[in-house]
Chains A and B, each alone.
Chain A
Amino acid sequence: MITQTHFLVLSAALFMLGVVGVMTRRNIIIILMSMELMLNAVNINLIAFSRQLGDVTGQVFAVFVICVAAAEAAVGLGIILAFYRNKETINIDEMNLMRW
């Protein structure tokens, strides 16, 4: 019997994998992808709840999340391109201009 909890745990796991990716990788593109993973985890959550409550609101918000993800990807990748054009790197450890 598959319950709500299964989905919640799954999404938690997926989310944490995303966090791990963000924490450990230095390739900023992969970091962005990890973020996408986290967003997906959130979506799974939302939809699981909407299924449980028999209410489409969760799905609506999943749509919004997807919108945000698209925007985030576009802008983030744009930034990455611009940065790469200037500094020839996508290593996040070399992107530390904002320091004292």
Chain B
Amino acid sequence: MDQVTEAAKGFPGVRCVANYKYICSDPGQAIIRERIEAEKLEGVVVASCSPHMHLKTFRAAAEAAGLNPYLVEMANIREQCSWVHHDKEKATAKAIELIRLSVAKVLRNRPLDAIRVPLTKRVLIVGGGVAGIQAALDVANAGFAVVLVERDPSIGGKMAGLSETFPTLDCSQCILTPRMVEVGQHPNITLHTYSEVEAVDGFVGNFEVTVRKKARFVDMDKCTGCGDCWTKCPSKKTPSEFDYGLANRTAIYVPFPQAVPARPVIDKDACIKLTKDKCGVCQKLCQPDAINFDDQDQLVTEEVGAVIVATGYQLYSIGQDQDEAFLSGYGEYGYGRYKDVINGLQFERIVSASGPTNGEIQRPSDAAEPKTVVFLSCVGSRDNAKGLSYCSKICCMYTAKHAMLYKHKVHDGEAHVFYMDIRAGGKNYEEFVRRAIEQDGAIYHRGRVSKITQENGKLIVRGADTLAGKPVTVEADLVVLASAIRPAAGVLELARKLKLGYDAFGFLSESHPKLRPVETNTAGVFVCGACQAPKDIPEAVAQASAAASKVLIMFSQSELTRDPEVANVNELTCAACYACLRSCPYGAIEEAEIRDRKGNLIKHTARVNPGLCMGCGTCVAVCPSKSVDLEGFSEQQIYEMVKNLV
């Protein structure tokens, strides 16, 4: 280190050199501040870790001492030197060179002031499940405009289809539908259902979002939701998405009675008029004449300052065919082959009072009341070999709930649960599971199920009880699979549009697992709910409110400040060939004219919109006359470094 210190003293322009073990610590920063003031420094180079680690820290320290923060550079002698080179001598020599390069650069740095950009105080929320609804209401109630985009014909998401919720067993719809109605009627909320995000332009504070409103074939303004159309629709054979195929719906339909908006939509693949150009009954019946068979998708653009992604989850699709090669599909459980092997969400519909069986426990095959029901947890979850490595987190709880609800309705029935571990972390969760076992007599087997077969009307569930250490076989009437939670389909496309990161399983990446749990690496875009990771309702709601509060913090400012390390054009030498304009990934460069006082055209020139420029510098590379340059990485700065490579 002393060697390095000595060498640094000799570099052109170096006024003083300080050596401190923890320069990023308070006392370390104090040294920087003190030297800046004492020596009237015009530039600082910190030779320590990666600029990604602490450049902000040191720039702030400099600013505190009255030095423009952009006159601070770093030399990365840790991650890119001492940590990777064992040859002490060579590493030291390299460190000295790295510092010389940074000193050379900083001599060419210019003081820069943060750029101020206007802020559109309107948020886009993608996904109208419970998380999206919560975030929407929080922002809207704070007095800011919300644009809520939902892919399905109604908001409500998965929660709208649930029966009762653990651990309190309150009716899911009873608590959700009032919030749905509130969203539908809220003056600050613009609701786009049956719509998807087509494209996203712009940047934090100034996004321009294109929303595709899918053709509904029903005029939302004229329609009164009377129901004449869907009661009379002759096409009745389409499996209901809302009931997960346990019941059918008509071609013109509202997904469920409490849908918001309570307006139908025509399924163009099922509608006889749209497929065969026959029928048209709904149109004839419709008093307000709201049916429009010529309806087309519409693209609407919404200007927003922030985005919250709440696209939720889907279930691991049990069965043979999988979208990912590494998923086996659990064909041995016979899902899809045996009508009475269903997944958790289907069971939710069966026990739901508003479900296809009005809450009567009937098995799909013959509507008989199942006397023995087997619940399997971890179908796909925690299974590196055949499924996903992670824990889907909510299955233990809802499986216990399912067993409990079943027993409440079928008192003489048997509820068997096969589990790996019971994960009941959460307020009143453990107690809830104990209740299922001790009060309601659910039979828990610690072990996995190897195979399910069907023999004379019974489902033979072969598993093991690892505690008892013996095989277990249960002859069941119904099997419910707690299949793993996966991010909703299409989330990756959305992630690309928003430039968001995601993990190997497609869950969106927060920008810090502990300290920035709802922020993403794209400024102005936030995440909440199951699109980030599996979570239950209270967690999703809490995270939604967190995302909302982040947006509100942003909206509490009158304008945004941005990093001034952006491109600028030397309009004197610009030849206006617009190569920069053509290659700018952000459309941040525009054609401009220079005119004299009398308004006569002097010349054309390219001009950078500092509000849009993100500072990639592609324009610099394509400018033949180098009439465009990039603050922070200017031609002079870079070439000064290169000249020091000798």
A associates with B:
no
